[in-house]
């Protein structure tokens, strides 16, 4: 069933294009959604767009352990134990590897990978007690083919895939699934700033001949959150228009 009525979802990076699309779709299917991020005004705008019912902000800096704890506790105080965790928060700090500083690498790992682990660790105990849970980690196409200037980002997104498989193996017997969604090039503020030449070069690598929509990523996430997807775990759904076909 698509019905998520009564379920509590925590979506990180909820103020961005993909995050807000995920929050909107889960909310439309009946879930109460905690919107995690650091930009309170943007989160308030997303909540208002959803009608402010069954939504609550979960403010915190996910680059720190204390921030991740604050986000999880805010969600639980608003709605109770978390049934669905979508680790979508992500950051880039691009540079060629020879110029990439340790802090630039570690900062991306903390936000993109460590926050996902910390939040997963926080929610899994209550999920195990209820013998039901969905954890969906948003990886990226670059986890599978790399990208010049993004050694830190690619490592963090590849790390999500490996971590998800290990968690899936640990938690499957308790009715908890852990999967990834790996978007390709999706319409966003970043892609809006591309030059015509850059856009044409990217489109030439995508068999579908277009950029993806945030809603298309959200549909993949929502599928993995369904009760009917309970036998699917440790997997990665690729949403990239055929850019790679692993």
Task: List phi, psi (to 5°) of 181.
Answer: -120, 130
Task: List phi, psi (to 5°) of 78.
Answer: -80, -40
Is 231 an active-site residue? no
Residue 180 near residue 235, CB atoms below 8 Å:
yes
Q: Which of 187, 188, 236, 194 is nearest to 212 (CA)?
A: 187
Q: Which of 55, 62, 73, 18 is nearest to 38 (CA)?
A: 62
Sign of CA dihedral 238, 118, 84, 186: negative
Residue 139 near residue 157, CB atoms below 8 Å:
yes
Instruction: Name the active-site residue from 79, 105, 144, 153.
Output: 153
Tell me how crowded residue 187 is: count the other CB atoms within 10 A of its CB: 16
> What residues are labeled active site?
153
């Amino acid at each position: 069933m698509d019905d998520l009525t009564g379920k509590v979802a925590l979506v990180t990076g909820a103020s961005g294009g993909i995050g807000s699309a995920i929050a909107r779709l889960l909310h439309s299917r009946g879930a109460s959604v905690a919107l995690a991020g650091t930009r309170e005004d943007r989160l308030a705008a997303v909540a208002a767009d959803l009608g402010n019912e069954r939504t609550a902000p979960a403010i915190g800096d996910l680059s720190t352990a204390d921030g991740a704890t604050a986000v999880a506790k805010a969600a639980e105080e608003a709605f109770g134990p978390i049934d669905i965790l979508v680790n979508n928060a992500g950051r880039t700090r691009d540079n060629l590897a020879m110029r990439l500083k340790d802090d630039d690498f570690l900062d991306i790992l903390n936000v993109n990978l460590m926050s996902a682990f910390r939040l997963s660790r926080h929610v899994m105990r209550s999920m195990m007690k209820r013998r039901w849970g969905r954890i969906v980690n948003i990886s990226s196409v670059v986890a599978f083919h790399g990208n010049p200037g993004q050694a830190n980002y690619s490592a963090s997104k590849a790390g999500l895939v490996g971590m998800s498989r290990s968690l899936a193996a640990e938690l499957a017997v308790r009715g908890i699934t852990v999967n990834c969604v790996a978007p390709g090039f999706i319409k966003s503020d970043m892609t809006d700033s591309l030059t015509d030449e850059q856009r044409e070069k990217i489109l030439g690598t995508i068999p579908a001949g277009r950029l993806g929509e945030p809603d298309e990523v959200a549909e993949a996430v929502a599928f993995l959150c369904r009760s009917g997807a309970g036998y699917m775990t440790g997997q990665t759904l690729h949403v990239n228009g055929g850019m790679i076909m692993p």
